[in-house]
Amino acid sequence: MSRQQREALDALLRSAPRGGTPPTVEEQRSGFTAAVTRPVPEGVTARRTVLGGRPALELEPAGARGRGRLLYLHGGGYVIGSPDSHAGMVGELARRAGLRAVSVDYRLAPEHPFPAAVDDGLAAYRELLAAGTDPGDLVLAGDSAGGGLAVATLLAARDAGLPQPAAVAVFSPWTDLTLTGGSIRSKEGADPVFTAADVRAYADLYIGAGDRAHPLASPVFADLTGLPPLLVQAGANEVLLDDAVRLAGRAGADGVEATLEIGPGLPHVFQHHYGRLDEADAALDRAARFLTARLGAGHPDAGRLEPAR
């Protein structure tokens, strides 16, 4: 893996202007979209759809076979981001896994605070099952707030008596809105993207005066018993590192198969930088392999992995 690539990415992320008048929510949303949006990968078809009563983006790789489906929940602190901003990365994950993916445009705070996002995630999951998707053919993934939301969605599904999917993969998940992880402070200088104040501001917008330790807001405090195999990927240089570490540890303690990967010298959701960071391509490949290997027995896509390009 390239040290030069990591150092160049760190410098690029640190070059983003900071300070001055705090941007409005709308300015944050437009700025984030401009900064992270990448084209849908070649060979992947994007279609607008509706799932669980919310707009969604379906991403279908050429040659996708079988019944396998990927439900994706995007990141952005529950305040910014959309299926469009994440279409490149989700399309890459779908292409490498050979799975049809659907990315849900769940409601954002502050207009729609907790638990609106969880309600939308659960509604999307419920509709996929109601439409005939076998839970053994369904996997979930998400990044940052979407990673926490993916886990919260499965907790809500479990508590509603719904079956669990085959697996879930999360990238740099935000799982503790109480901000009690030690890395919130210890990694602040190493993190080129966020400060503790940044993360706290998103929590304020999403949860307000509510219970920040609620298990559907902060799944690191939940009983994770009964959830499917979990893959957690994070970078060592991020204030949310302990959210990832503690989530994997809690899952293992609750009897869930859990795999934790921490990339040295890497920032928050480094997977966004596929094609220009070797570690990002390798991580997406491993995530795709993890998800497809756990699809229903005999599934034609099980273990299938498209090469990076």
pLDDT, mean of residues 236-255? 98
Residue 223: pLDDT band (50, 70, 90) is very high
Higher pLDDT, 2 or 301: 2
Is residue 187 predicted with pLDDT exceeding 80? yes
Q: Please report the pLDDT score of residue 296 as a whole number.
A: 79
Is residue 164 predicted with pLDDT exceeding 80? yes
**Annotated catalytic residue, options 74, 86, 268, 272:** 268
pLDDT, mean of residues 18-25? 88
Q: Round the average pLDDT of the chain to a whole number and report it.
A: 94
Is residue 53 predicted with pLDDT exceeding 60? yes
Report the DSSP pairing between strands 69-73 and 138-143.
parallel
Q: For this structure, is 238 an active site residue? A: yes
**Annotated catalytic residue, options 238, 273, 279, 306:** 238
pTM summary value: 0.95
pLDDT, mean of residues 199-227? 97
Q: For this structure, is 58 an active site residue? A: no
Q: What is the pLDDT of residues 119-160, one digit of tens each?
A: 999 999 999 999 999 999 999 999 999 999 999 999 999 999
> How far apart are alpha carbons 126 and 104 in whole angstroms?
13
Q: For this structure, is 74 an active site residue? A: no
Q: In angstroms, what CA-CA distances link 180 with 3, 118, 183, 287? A: 31, 22, 9, 28
Q: What is the pLDDT of residues 56-76, one digit of tens each?
A: 999 999 989 788 999 999 999
**Annotated catalytic residue, options 82, 85, 103, 144:** 144
From the DSSP assignment, how many helices (H) and strands (E) are in the chain?
A: 9, 8
Q: What is the pLDDT of residues 106-116, one digit of tens each?
A: 999 999 999 99
pLDDT, mean of residues 176-180? 98
Q: How much of the chain, in percent, has pLDDT values that exceed 90?
A: 91
* Element containing residue 150 per DSSP (H, E): helix 145-159
Give the least confident one: 20-29, 95-104, 227-236.
Answer: 20-29
Structural domains of the chain, ranges and CATH numbers in brackets: 3-15+24-293 (3.40.50.1820)
Bond prior to 115 in cis (omega within 30° of 0): yes
Q: Please report the pLDDT score of residue 1 as a whole number.
A: 52
